[in-house]
Amino acid sequence: MWDDLKTAAEKRPTIQTLFEADPKRAEQFSISQGDMLFDYSKTQIDADARRLLLAMAQEAGVEAKRDRMFSGAHINETEDRAVLHTMLRNLGGAPTGVPEEEYHEVLSIRAAMETFATAVRDGGFTGQGGAITDVINIGIGGSDLGPAMGTLALAPYYDGPRVQFVSNVDGADIADALKGLNPETTLVIVASKTFTTIETMTNARTAFDWMKGQVADPATQFAAVSSATDKTSAFGIDPSRVFGFEDWVGGRYSMWGPIGLSLMIAIGPEKFLEFLEGGWAMDKHFQTAPPLENMPMMLALVGLWHNQGCGHATRAVLPYDNRLSRLPAYLQQLEMESNGKSVVMDGGDVPVHSGPVVWGEPGTNGQHAFYQLIHQGTRVIPCEFLVAREGHEPELSHHHQLLVANCLAQSEALMVGRSLDEARDIMVAKGLSGEELERQARHRVFPGNRPSTTLVYPKLTPYVLGQIIALYEHRVFVEGVILGINSFDQWGVELGKELANKLTPILRGEESAAAKDGSTQMLLRYLQDKS
């Protein structure tokens, strides 16, 4: 099937030819879900290629596996775990196949989160110095990126205490976050599924020590989000402020549950529930819409077409929504930790390249940075634009019009490009002629025929953010199933952690570096040279 995909990609017509051949292409190659529209007409996918992609999804058994995921089957085979993050946002009762008790456990933990978040927000929970003014979420990867991205995205709804996020083991991160804070009115949330992650535990201890001098019992101003309750107790955190979750929630899929506590404190339980509702609406759409009208399915197939079919190794995520500035980073973990693997479920090799490199920045900022390469570089980079119909600042609607105009202009420019003749005309109009005209004109050619998709949503509300995040989660799932990958483990992050643990005693001067390679030894010498 991969060979067929590559053959179809080799024969792909240009985007403009496709539009010329089919005046209704935009309607035929777009999907709506609720108020959201996903337009993939500015790609080189034609009806045959789409049929082939859909057949691939069918052959891979995407729908059956989707149903197994939602009902709690252990589809994370290498860790023998269920994958049930969708249950965290299921507001309609226990999913078929999942024991009622497990669902009730989700509800009771959410209720406990709501009680705590409300108390932090309204002063029911206080620090030694009174009402909480600042919250520091200490976590990394999935225990940071989701709530950090969400808190920024939903800034217009943010009415709780100030929430900051500390993730990096670089002391600069926590030092900057704590600067100027009053330890007596600061709440620290240690968010770590395992409660062993070195970065998080180091930062947590630093925060504890910072409070120690000034707060009689710092542990009373700590809460934890973790599955490892023995370790949270050993840290001294009272079980009433520990919010647990099960091993069926992967780190990068966890912002819907207790890992979202800091977000819930920022925007309040009601808005957090709206976020869950949006995710749940996307789940229902994913479970019921026929493949051709199924947004996560088609987003995934477009991704496979570009990466595995056409060989475009990277994917740019370009939100024309400044508050989604952390979305590319969030999607990097979601996509690359999920599908950046070389081995299929049964241990064989992935027959094609695995998931793409995901990167991006908000527009219009990116336009003044890296879009040059997207338009005229030698590599084709499929772009995924996101844009809201409406901003949160009605008084600044002229800004929003400019934002939208720029977003649409970019996808148009990528598709249409500018021919040499058009470039010549521009140079002639500027009074150039002869060799100089030719030379200058060539620099002004845009090849065009560069693919992009656009996701339009009404406004970046909690509900819409929920839809968007669930959409991308399911997209990664579909891609993973077709690639034959287990999207829910992350063995690739282990080796670096192990080696870092072995290097720490060398840096402390407790062990010799003799067994290390020449490069590492040289770097160590250089880094340890205090002269």
Q: Report the interface residues with ligand F6P, using CB under 6 A.
A: 140-143, 192-194, 197, 200, 251-252, 337, 490, 493
- Which of these, 322, 362, 364, 286, lies nearest to 460 by C-alpha position? 322
Buried residues in 466-494 as b, exposed as e (16+ CB within 10 A): bbbbbbbbbbbbbbbbbbbbbbbbbeeee
Residue 418 gets the label, from left (phi > 0), alpha (psi -120 to 50) or beta, of beta
Nearer to ligand F6P by C-beta: 197 or 454? 197
User: Cα–Cα distance between 441 and 425 in angstroms, integer?
Assistant: 8
Q: In the structure encoding, which two tokens stand for residue 11, read together?
A: 């024969």
Give the nearest distance from C-beta 194 to ligand F6P in angstroms. 3
CB of 62 or CB of 145, closer to ligand F6P: 145
Other beta carbons less than 10 A from residue 526's beta carbon: 8
Q: Which is nearer to ligand F6P, 14 or 196 (CB)?
A: 196
Please state, in angstroms and as integers, the Cα–Cα distance from residue 214 to each residue in 249, 393, 507, following that order.
37, 41, 32
Looking at the Cβ atoms of 232 and 490, the one nearer to ligand F6P is 490
**519 class by beta-carbon count within 10 Å (0-12 exposed, 13-18 middle, 19+ buried):** exposed
Q: How many helices (H) and strands (E) does the chain have?
A: 22, 13
Where does residue 6 rank: exposed (0-12), middle (13-18), buried (19+ CB within 10 A)? middle
Distance of closest approach, residue 225 Cβ to ligand F6P, in angstroms: 8
**Backbone angle region of 526, left / alpha / beta, with phi > 0 → left and psi within -120 to 50 → alpha:** alpha
Dig out the tokens for 33 from the structure: 């879900």
State the Cα–Cα distance between residues 403 and 321, nearest whole angstrom.
8
Among 243, 240, 224, 222, CA closest to 232: 224
In the complex, minimum distance from the CB of residue 477 to ligand F6P, in angstroms, rounded to a whole number: 16
Between CA 521 and CA 348 the distance in angstroms is 36
Query: Minimum CB separation from ligand F6P for residue 366, in Å?
Result: 26
3-state helix, strand, coil in the chain (%, to 5): 55, 10, 35
User: Closest distance between ligand F6P and the C-beta of residue 332, in Å?
Assistant: 12
Give the up-direction half-sphere exposure of residue 247: CA atoms within 13 A in the CB hemisphere.
12
Q: Which is nearer to ligand F6P, 3 or 494 (CB)?
A: 494
Catalytic residue among 199, 337, 361, 473: 337
Please choose, from the candidates 309, 376, 117, 151, the residue with its C-alpha nearest in 3D space to the C-alpha of residue 225: 117
Which of 49/138 has CB closer to ligand F6P?
138
Please count the CA atoms within 13 angstroms of the CA of 52 that sit on its side-chain side: 19
Task: Confirm whether 368 is a catalytic residue.
Answer: yes
Q: How far is the CB of 339 from ligand F6P (least distance, A)?
A: 13
Which of 74, 212, 497, 502 is the catalytic position?
497
Closest CA to 15 of 413, 383, 455, 450: 450
How many Cα atoms sit within 13 Å of 474 on the Cβ side? Answer: 29
What strands, in cross-sheet order, belong to the sheet with 242-243? 162-166, 134-138, 186-191, 222-225, 242-243
Distance CA 454, CA 30 (A): 9
Whose CB is nearest to ligand F6P? 251
Least distance to ligand F6P, CB of residue 69, Å: 18
Q: Can 270 be counted among the known catalytic residues?
A: no
Question: For ligand F6P, which is the closer residue by CB, 141 or 328?
Answer: 141
- Nearest distance, CB of residue 23 and ligand F6P, angstroms: 47
- Cβ distance to ligand F6P smaller for residue 367 or 490: 490
Closer to ligand F6P by CB, 332 or 364: give it: 332
The answer to whether 376 touches 446, Cβ cutoff 8 Å, is yes
CB of 492 to ligand F6P, least distance (A): 9
Closest approach, Cβ 391 to ligand F6P, in A, equals 32
As annotated, the active-site residues are 337, 368, 497
